[in-house]
């Protein structure tokens, strides 16, 4: 066996004969082992989507609870919000309870949600703001200032607004029930923005 | 665009396994610390830890190969296998002669490949099996493009000398 004439394909062919390759079962076993390790290590997000009056709505749950609600965006943008190291799996079964409660909410049959939520990706302050927002009863609105006062941080209206804008679970955590002190609706980052906020407050009977 | 980590596993596991299998060559049979499955898992574990630091415009395939190469070199250094080339040659020749179906020339070429340094072996494997260009090879093995090209041509020259062509 000679190495001349030397050209890439010739060398490749001869080296291929000399340098053996692993068998398919060896590859499969190793792949299964790596996937098993990954499945046990990576954060696990199961998700699905539903149609609602605000458009297509996506829901994601982690092992700890509901961690994502998104609407007014496409699937790629929704999946892109998760850590790239996380394991994602489309699973209607895993999010069935969340979707059932959301359907009841949109039909007017539900005022509050009973799902466990996962806010572990947020800072302590953001969590505290969102937990305070959860205390706002359906049919009422609080101002950003009121939320700050309830948290015993009366001068933190602006940070409160920023924390509400980072709400990963809109609708379920009712950040839409927080408005500006002058009575205007303030901001809303979900779906079509202020229009979506207005629609939700109308559904809850705050606006006519 | 960098894919999600799970896609990285799905797309690149097999080629990383084959690369490491070839890079370790027959030495893997004589040292339990050179188990390729273990090494592949280590590669993906290291990659996972560093994945969040990867820039969006990175060549993630070359990045993964670099981690694989570093893991392999590090294991080879620990095992001190490549420091004793004579012993290695003996085992390789013995290994080659064990196979009744081997053609003699294939066995010679195999033994000659095993005599290459880990870096040369990495360079020719990346060049001829993984179809990477010299700039990618340079980034993976941690040298200049000129040096990567030199490693490949020196390796080919050594193989030819070993086969007395």
Q: What is the CATH number of the domain that holds A100?
A: 3.30.160.70
pLDDT of residue B98: 47
> Does A42 contact B40 at a Cβ distance shorter than 8 Å?
no
The three-class DSSP label of residue A22 is coil
Mean pLDDT of B25-53: 83
Cis omega (within 30 of 0) for bond into A5: yes
Last residue of a domain, one of A91, A118, A145: A118
* pLDDT tens profile A138-166: 989 999 999 999 888 888 888 999 999 98
> Does A2 contact B163 at a Cβ distance shorter than 8 Å?
yes
Mean pLDDT of B39-53: 94
Q: Which of B26-30, B91-95, B133-137 has the highest mean pLDDT?
A: B133-137
Chain B contact set for A88 (CB, 8 A): 4, 6
Indicate whether this model's pTM tops 0.80: no
Quote ipTM for the complex: 0.74
Range of lowest pLDDT (A82-86, A127-131, B11-15, B77-81): B77-81
* pLDDT tens profile A11-67: 777 777 777 788 899 999 999 999 999 999 999 999 999 999 988 999 999 999 999
Reply yes or no on whether the pLDDT at B99 is more than 50.
no
State the CATH number of the domain containing residue B88: 1.20.140
* Chain A interface mutation, best of B4, B18, B39, B64, highest count of A Cβ atoms under 10 Å: B4
Give how far B6 is from chain A: nearest CA, Å: 6
Whether B127 contacts B65, CB under 8 Å: no
Q: Residue A50 pairs with which residues in a beta bridge? A: A57
State the CATH number of the domain containing residue A167: 1.10.10.10
The three-class DSSP label of residue A143 is strand
Chain B contact set for A1 (CB, 8 A): 103, 105-106, 108-109, 163
pLDDT of residue B114: 81
> Is A67 annotated as catalytic?
no
Domain that holds residue B16: 5-162
- Burial string for A1-40 (b: 16+ CB within 10 Å, else e) reads eebeeeeeeebeebbeebbeebeeeebeebbebbbeebee
Q: Which residue of A has its CA nearest to B130?
A: A12
* A191 domain residue, yes or no: yes
Domain that holds residue A179: 122-208
* Chain B interface mutation, best of A81, A84, A88, highest count of B Cβ atoms under 10 Å: A84
> Does A2 contact B45 at a Cβ distance shorter than 8 Å?
no
Last residue of a domain, one of A118, A134, A149: A118
* A1 domain residue, yes or no: no
Q: Which residue of B has its CA nearest to A89?
A: B6
Residue with more model confidence, B107 or A110:
A110
Distance CA B57, CA A26 (A): 33
Chain A contact set for B129 (CB, 8 A): 12, 15-16, 19
Give the total number of structural domains in chain A: 2
> Which residue, among A181, A16, A94, has the nearest Cα to B129 in the 3D structure?
A16
Could you tell me whether strands A55-61 and A66-71 are parallel, antiparallel, or unpaired per DSSP bridges?
A: antiparallel
Q: Are residues A95 and A173 in the same domain?
A: no
């Amino acid at each position: 066996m000679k190495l001349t004439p030397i050209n890439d394909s010739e060398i490749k062919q001869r080296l291929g004969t000399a340098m053996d390759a692993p068998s398919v079962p060896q590859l499969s076993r190793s792949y299964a082992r790596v996937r098993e390790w990954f499945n046990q290590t990576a954060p696990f997000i199961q998700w699905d989507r539903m149609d609602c009056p605000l458009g297509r709505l996506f829901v994601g749950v982690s092992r700890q609870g509901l961690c994502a609600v998104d609407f007014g965006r496409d699937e790629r943008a929704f999946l892109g919000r998760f850590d790239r190291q996380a394991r994602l799996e489309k699973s209607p079964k895993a999010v069935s309870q969340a979707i059932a409660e959301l359907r009841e909410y949109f039909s007017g049959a539900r005022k509050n949600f009973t799902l466990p939520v996962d806010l572990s990706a947020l800072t302590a302050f953001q969590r505290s703001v969102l937990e305070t927002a959860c205390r706002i009863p359906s049919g009422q609105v609080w101002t950003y200032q009121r939320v700050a006062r309830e948290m015993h941080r009366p001068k933190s209206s602006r940070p409160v607004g920023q924390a509400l804008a980072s709400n990963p679970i809109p609708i379920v955590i009712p950040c839409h029930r927080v408005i500006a002190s002058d009575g205007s609706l303030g901001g809303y980052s979900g779906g079509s923005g202020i229009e979506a906020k207005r629609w939700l407050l109308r559904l809850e009977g705050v606006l006519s | 665009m960098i894919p999600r980590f799970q896609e990285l596993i799905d797309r690149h596991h097999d080629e990383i396994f084959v690369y490491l299998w070839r890079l370790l060559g027959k030495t893997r049979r004589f040292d339990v610390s050179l188990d390729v499955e273990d090494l592949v898992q280590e590669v993906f574990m290291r990659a996972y830890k560093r994945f969040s630091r990867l820039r969006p415009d990175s060549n993630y395939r070359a990045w993964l190969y670099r981690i694989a190469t570093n893991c392999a070199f590090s294991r080879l250094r620990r095992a001190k296998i490549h420091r004793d080339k004579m012993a290695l040659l003996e085992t390789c020749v013995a290994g080659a002669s064990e196979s009744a179906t081997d053609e003699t020339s294939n066995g010679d070429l195999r033994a000659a490949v095993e005599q290459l340094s880990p870096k040369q072996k990495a360079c020719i494997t990346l060049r001829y099996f993984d179809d990477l260009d010299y700039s990618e090879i340079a980034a993976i093995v941690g040298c200049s493009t000129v040096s990567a090209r030199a490693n490949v041509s020196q390796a080919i020259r050594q193989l030819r000398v070993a086969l007395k062509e």
